């Protein structure tokens, strides 16, 4: 299985995609590390904790259980985990292992970034969404009531360990939610990945090993390539936000409790595809194809009670809004995008309306 390099000004590391790599985690912990803190959720630990526990048997380590859920991705929970680390003897020699889905990878990474002004972190993603997106790139965060990921830090990991085997236990809805981020990678950077998602949905949905490995490896390759070129989202890395501007509005408007992150991004990609068409950057035929592929990996939760004006109001609070100007990543074809600001509000409203259908 492949390994991909991330090279940034902060540090260089590997993102390893390998079946059974959970059992090798101790190999990547520096010799002089003090207490190792494994941040995870109860369900992930019950399913996959034994492999990690066995691997760490010769190390001093502690388990920190996070209750999970987007609505708990808040600073108060980070403070609680930091207090647990102090009580268990954590210091500047400690290391955090963020072992779970995207929320755990974001929050565990943020905890590592700020504990004692920064300790190392190893990311071990256990959901498809985390494997193909959240765990790679060093973006860590917590939510505010006003919006998603508005508190955070760039904190690159020592290594990212991705084991496709853990996806076999992933609930169907969680798996499908992750597929929307795979679709995103295909649209912005990979015609090969796009063709897989468009033409072989049966194999993808059945979790055929070769399809899963291709999705994960190609997505990790793309993420590593983009992060290496632009660590702090000053240029190229912004393309990874395709669908996220409106997607985050869906999450915030519903209090982070109705949609899984990937589902919200699926809806956001519908809006982005329609906005790309409305601004003349994407053909109506390709827009229709994108929307059809997105719907193939649904269903979406109910959209009852959500209206375009509400979502429009949320856009100005998104972290991609700069000096009041909302920035959108728009598709110009498969594998090509453009970051655009200053789009007329009626067009944005129309695109959002289309995403609600």
Q: Are 141 and 318 in contact (CB under 8 A)?
A: no
Q: Which residue out of 48, 185, 261, 274 is catalytically annotated?
A: 261
- The helix-helix angle for 244-253 and 261-278 (nearest 10°) equals 130
Q: Give CA–CA dist 329/352, Å, rounded.
A: 14
Cα 117 from chain centre:
24
Is 200 known to be catalytic? no
Q: Which residue out of 70, 174, 233, 263 is catalytically annotated?
A: 233
Q: Which residue out of 70, 181, 231, 251 is catalytically annotated?
A: 181
Is 295 known to be catalytic? no
Q: Give CA–CA dist 294/266, Å, rounded.
A: 6
- Per-residue CA distances from 308 to 268, 280, 294, 341 (Å): 12, 21, 20, 19
Is 139 known to be catalytic? yes
Q: Which residue out of 176, 244, 277, 314 is catalytically annotated?
A: 244
- Report the run of H or E that residue 232 belongs to, with start and end: none
Q: Which residue out of 57, 87, 117, 304 is catalytically annotated?
A: 117
Is 241 known to be catalytic? yes
Strands of 171-312, DSSP E: none
Q: Which residue out of 148, 189, 223, 270 is catalytically annotated?
A: 223
Q: Are 191 and 219 in contact (CB under 8 A)?
A: no
Is 261 known to be catalytic? yes
Q: Which residue out of 218, 241, 263, 270 is catalytically annotated?
A: 241
Is 233 known to be catalytic? yes
Q: Give CA–CA dist 261/60, Å, rounded.
A: 34
Q: Is 187 exposed, middle or buried (0-12, 13-18, 19+ CB in 10 A)?
A: buried
Q: Which residue out of 48, 248, 274, 314 is catalytically annotated?
A: 248
Q: What are phi and psi of 256, to 5 degrees?
A: 60, 15
Closest CA to 136 of 242, 37, 226: 226
Q: Which residue out of 74, 155, 237, 270 is catalytically annotated?
A: 237
Q: Which residue out of 48, 139, 176, 270 is catalytically annotated?
A: 139
The torsion angle over the Cα atoms of residues 329, 330, 334 and 336, rounded to 10 degrees, is: -60
- Per-residue CA distances from 345 to 278, 281, 342, 348 (Å): 12, 17, 9, 5
Catalytic residue numbers read 117, 139, 181, 223, 233, 237, 241, 244, 248, 261
């Amino acid at each position: 299985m492949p390994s991909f390099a991330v090279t940034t000004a902060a540090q260089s590391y590997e993102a390893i995609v390998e079946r059974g790599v959970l059992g090798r985690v101790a190999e990547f912990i520096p010799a002089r590390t003090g207490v190792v803190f494994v941040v995870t959720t109860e369900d992930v630990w019950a399913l996959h904790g034994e492999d990690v526990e066995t691997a760490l048997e010769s190390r001093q380590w502690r388990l920190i259980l996070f209750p999970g859920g987007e609505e708990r991705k808040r600073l108060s929970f980070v403070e609680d985990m930091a207090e647990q680390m102090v009580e268990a003897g954590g210091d500047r020699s400690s290391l955090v292992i963020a072992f779970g889905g995207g929320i755990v990878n974001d929050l565990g990474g943020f905890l590592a970034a700020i504990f004692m002004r920064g300790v190392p972190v190893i990311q071990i993603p256990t959901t498809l969404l985390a494997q193909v997106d959240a765990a790679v790139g060093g973006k860590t965060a917590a939510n505010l009531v006003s919006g998603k990921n508005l508190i955070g830090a760039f904190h690159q990991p020592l290594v990212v360990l991705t084991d496709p085997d853990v996806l076999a236990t992933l609930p169907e809805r969680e798996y499908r939610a992750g597929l929307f981020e795979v679709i995103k990678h295909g649209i912005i950077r990979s015609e090969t990945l796009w063709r897989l998602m468009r033409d072989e949905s049966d194999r993808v949905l059945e979790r055929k090993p070769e399809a899963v490995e291709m999705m994960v490896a190609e997505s990790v390759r793309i993420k590593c390539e983009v992060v290496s070129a632009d660590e702090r989202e000053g240029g190229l890395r912004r393309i990874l936000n395709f669908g996220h501007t409106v997607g985050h509005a869906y999450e915030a408007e519903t209090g982070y409790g109705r949609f899984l992150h990937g589902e919200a991004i699926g809806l956001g990609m519908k809006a982005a595809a329609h906005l790309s068409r409305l601004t003349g950057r994407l053909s109506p035929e390709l827009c229709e194809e994108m929307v059809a592929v997105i719907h193939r990996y649904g269903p979406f939760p109910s959209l009852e009670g959500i209206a375009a004006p509400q979502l429009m109001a949320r856009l100005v609070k998104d972290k991609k809004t700069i000096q009041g100007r909302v920035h959108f990543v728009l598709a110009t074809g498969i594998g090509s995008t453009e970051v655009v600001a200053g789009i007329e509000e009626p067009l944005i409203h129309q695109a959002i309306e289309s995403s609600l259908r």
